[in-house]
């Protein structure tokens, strides 16, 4: 087990500087264009693949970094560049985490490489959990998977929404209900291979922020997948469902985590790191502006009203990073989130990003409200962090339930 540290080693510093250079030289110059176009920035993704950032090898190196700092460091630097483009680059990772968290070794070896492809043939993946009537309320999920024992196939029907890369991905990971009587404990995750009949893209959403990231509905109409596409395998699923049924009969609570929640728990600190990157970017723009913008014959940072805001912004960014790094270290080293530290990190960092980007606009004044400066885009982008992969309200609920042990509603 690696000791917790806030000091990056030489190798991590080299990777950080490399990512920062890519973010500064490739992502930032393209950010405004792809935000306006509201399209997947394929040229930037392909460039990331060419240099090795969009690849299974790079993702695995950061994911298995025993210090836990690989993923949050990478996310912060890429999202410092631009949130929409960065999400297009890392969006496949959520589906990959879904397979890593729930799949067998064979499934991991088979499907995760197909989610990325290679520099000459870039692929995408999508994780599909939310539904039109089941976002935070995962127990209301309606997408149904029924096992056809004669053919050893699962038949899946339903509609998913808010799926990053949904419909354009080569590989989809779909969470579906296999036992509706067990609520959220009756869910399982399935791989939908490329070109599977019955899967189609529904509505593509036009969004407030992260516009360069493709977000759409995914429609599943009698989609048939082999039994081997059930993540974890049927034997493991049957054992988990049997335990849940026994607990339900006994009237006790069942603490077996469903597949979607396992994915979200693993990724929440990473989302916090994304928020840190956006907040830091806005703070740096505001600081530079305050140092150079003059009013009444002096830089505006000479005014306490501006200087104190910047001090607060810097504190928020650093505090958020501390929480994210702690949770990331705990997750990698098998430390249980006894105080919901993963949710704490996402909650604080996402709220900090909204606050810091709003303060950046205020410091830039009228200029901050225009698209000539990037802080208005950063503020639009920051709103998503308090919504996806568990809203701030859900994070507070998770934290409160963990601390109290009470079924707070």
Short-list 358, 349, 360, 299, CA closest to 326:
349
Whole-number Å distance between alpha carbons of 78 and 161: 25
Instruction: Kindly list the distances between the CA atom of residue 63 and the CA atoms of 12, 68, 74, 291, 329, in Å, as whole numbers in the listed order.
Output: 13, 8, 10, 38, 11
Q: List strand residue ranges (DSSP E) for 279-347, in order.
A: 294-295, 298-299
Whole-number Å distance between alpha carbons of 261 and 281: 30
In the numeric block, the tokens 């899946």 are attached to 156
Active-site pick, 76, 265, 376, 389: 389
- Both structure tokens of 210: 């992260």
Residue 202 CB partners (closer than 8 Å, separation 6+): 159, 161, 167, 216, 217, 218, 219
- Both structure tokens of 59: 């993702």
389 part of the active site: yes
Residue 248 CB partners (closer than 8 Å, separation 6+): 181, 182, 254
Whole-number Å distance between alpha carbons of 228 and 222: 17
CA 356 to mean position of chain CA atoms:
20
How many CA atoms lie less than 13 Å away from 25 in the CB half-sphere? 9
Whole-number Å distance between alpha carbons of 155 and 391: 31
How many CA atoms lie less than 13 Å away from 311 in the CB half-sphere? 8
Tell me whether residue 409 is exposed, middle or buried, using C-beta atoms within 10 angstroms of its C-beta: 0 to 12, 13 to 18, 19 or more.
Answer: exposed
Q: List strand residue ranges (DSSP E) for 167-236, in order.
A: 171-177, 187-192, 199-204, 215-226
Residues tagged active-site: 389
């Amino acid at each position: 087990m690696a000791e917790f540290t806030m000091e990056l080693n030489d190798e991590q510093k080299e990777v950080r500087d490399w990512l920062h250079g890519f973010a500064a030289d490739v992502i930032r110059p393209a950010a405004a264009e792809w935000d306006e176009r509201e399209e997947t920035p394929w040229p930037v993704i392909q460039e990331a693949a060419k240099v090795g950032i969009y690849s299974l090898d790079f993702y695995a190196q950061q994911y298995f970094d025993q210090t836990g700092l690989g993923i949050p460091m990478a996310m912060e630097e890429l999202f410092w560049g631009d949130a929409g483009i960065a999400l297009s680059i890392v969006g496949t990772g959520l589906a990959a985490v879904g397979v890593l968290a729930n799949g067998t070794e064979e499934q991991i070896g088979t499907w995760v490489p197909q989610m990325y492809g290679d520099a000459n043939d870039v692929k995408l993946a999508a994780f599909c959990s939310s539904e039109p009537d089941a976002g935070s309320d995962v127990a209301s999920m309606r997408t149904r998977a029924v096992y056809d024992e004669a053919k050893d196939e699962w038949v899946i029907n339903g509609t998913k929404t808010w799926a990053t890369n949904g419909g354009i991905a080569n590989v989809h990971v779909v969470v579906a209900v296999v036992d509706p009587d067990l609520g959220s404990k009756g869910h399982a995750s399935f791989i939908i291979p490329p070109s599977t009949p019955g899967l189609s893209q529904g509505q593509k959403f036009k969004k407030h922020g992260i516009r360069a990231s493709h977000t759409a509905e995914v429609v599943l109409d009698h989609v048939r997948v082999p039994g081997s596409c059930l993540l974890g395998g049927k034997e493991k699923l049957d054992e988990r469902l049997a335990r849940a049924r026994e607990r339900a009969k006994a009237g006790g609570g069942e603490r077996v985590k469903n597949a979607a929640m396992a994915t979200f728990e693993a990724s929440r600190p990473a989302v916090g790191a994304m928020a840190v990157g956006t907040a830091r970017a806005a703070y740096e723009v505001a600081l530079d502006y305050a140092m150079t913008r003059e009013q009444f014959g002096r830089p505006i940072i000479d005014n306490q009203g501006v200087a104190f805001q910047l001090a607060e912004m810097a504190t928020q960014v650093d505090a958020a990073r501390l929480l994210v790094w702690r949770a990331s270290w705990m997750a990698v080293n098998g430390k249980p989130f006894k105080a919901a530290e993963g949710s704490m990190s996402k909650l604080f960092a996402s709220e900090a990003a909204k606050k810091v980007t709003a303060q950046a606009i205020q410091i830039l004044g009228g200029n901050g409200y225009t698209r000539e400066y990037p802080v208005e885009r950063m503020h639009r982008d920051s709103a998503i962090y308090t919504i996806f992969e568990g809203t701030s309200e859900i994070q507070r609920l998770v934290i409160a339930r963990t601390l109290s042990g009470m079924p707070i509603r």
